[in-house]
């Protein structure tokens, strides 16, 4: 199993759309920057047929150190969540079913 990297995305844009590698990198960077800016403002990002990214606020709570059992306060923080679209879920489940059939 390999991880899809930013460089591979740039190469795919270059190959499939025909932009130069430099322009492909700039395009990908601009799209990712826009997503980050929107999430930083606390607004969700919905990509049709892919899913929704959203920032959620988690409150203060008490955690526990698993080794010692000592209670540790966990400060409030923001977390990024992703909910896959039904189209993406179906695509993944179809791909998994194809892999199992082989």
- How much is the pTM? 0.78
Domains and CATH numbers, the chain: 1-41 (no CATH), 43-102 (4.10.520.10)
Whole-angstrom distance, CA of residue 25 vs CA of residue 14? 9
Residue 95 confidence (pLDDT) above 80: no
**Span 30-82, pLDDT tens digits:** 999 999 999 999 999 999 999 999 999 999 999 999 999 999 999 999 999 99
* pLDDT reported for residue 96: 62
Whole-angstrom distance, CA of residue 39 vs CA of residue 43? 5
* pLDDT reported for residue 100: 63
Going 46 to 51 to 52 to 53, the CA torsion angle's sign is negative
Q: Give the residue among 47, 48, 50, 58 at the shortest CA–CA distance from 80.
A: 58
């Amino acid at each position: 199993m390999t991880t899809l990297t930013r460089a591979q995305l740039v190469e795919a844009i270059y190959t499939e759309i025909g932009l130069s590698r430099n322009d492909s990198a700039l395009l990908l960077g601009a799209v990712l920057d826009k997503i980050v800016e929107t999430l930083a403002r606390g607004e969700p990002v919905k990509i049709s047929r892919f899913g929704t990214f959203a920032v959620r606020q988690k409150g203060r709570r008490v955690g526990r150190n698993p080794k010692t059992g000592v209670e540790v306060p966990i400060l409030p923080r923001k977390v990024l969540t992703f909910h896959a679209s039904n189209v993406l879920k179906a695509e993944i489940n179809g791909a998994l079913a194809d892999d199992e059939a082989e």
